Amino acid sequence: WLCLFLYLFIRFHGSQSITIATIHHLLANPLTHIGAFAEAKQNERKAYNIYRTKFGPDHARTVQSYKNMRYITEKQVSYEQTMQ
Which band of pLDDT confidence, cut at 50, 70 and 90, is reported for residue 1? low
Which band of pLDDT confidence, cut at 50, 70 and 90, is reported for residue 4? confident
For residue 16, give the 3-state DSSP assignment: coil
Q: What is the pLDDT of residues 37-79, one digit of tens each?
A: 999 999 999 999 999 999 999 999 999 999 999 999 999 999 9
- Count structural domains, the chain: 1
Closest residue by Cα to residue 64 from 35, 83, 44: 44
Q: Residue 30's domain is classified under what CATH number?
A: 1.25.40
Closest residue by Cα to residue 10 from 33, 41, 43, 35: 43
User: What range defines the domain where residue 72 resides?
Assistant: 2-83
